[in-house]
Amino acid sequence: MTKQKPILFFDEGNVEKTDVFRVLSLKETCSDYEPIVGFFTELNQHFDFADGSGNEVNILFSVDEIDYIFIHHSFNMPYSIPSNCFDLLREQLGEKLVVFSGETANDLKVNRLKRDDTYKNFNFF
């Protein structure tokens, strides 16, 4: 088993003009951080959302090896993650979970960020 990178970043959204995954452009601009950050367009290698109801989420990695996990709130897997899954993830991951969305305001007390701010400032994180 390979060692998990301490920061995981998940976003499946495309840049509308180019139809390229946003996270791939972020990965490119943050290439210096490749040893510590994993950028992903899918969740299924890291999470099992069981029946999709939002009543169960299985984490498929050692939480102790992770410092932070960034997940786009409106992630489609191919269906949207039920909101109660984020409640379960927050219970399991605590302050390690950072949720970002275009529809939210920045609130560092609950680790919620605007998507644009997350992308613009991620390399400062």
Our count of domains for the chain comes to 1
In a domain, 71, yes or no: yes
For residues 35 and 68, the answer to whether their CB atoms sit within 8 Å is no
Rounded average pLDDT over 1-30: 80
**Domain containing residue 95:** 7-119
In percent, the amount of the chain with pLDDT more than 90 equals 31
pLDDT at 84: 79
In a domain, 108, yes or no: yes
- In Å, how far are 24, 37, 53, 113 from 105, measured between CA atoms? 24, 24, 27, 6
Give, as one character, the DSSP assignment of residue 5: P
In a domain, 112, yes or no: yes
In a domain, 78, yes or no: yes
- Indicate if the pLDDT at residue 41 is higher than 90: no
**What digits encode the pLDDT tens for the residues 57-110?**
899 999 999 999 999 887 655 556 777 788 889 999 999 999 988 878 888 888
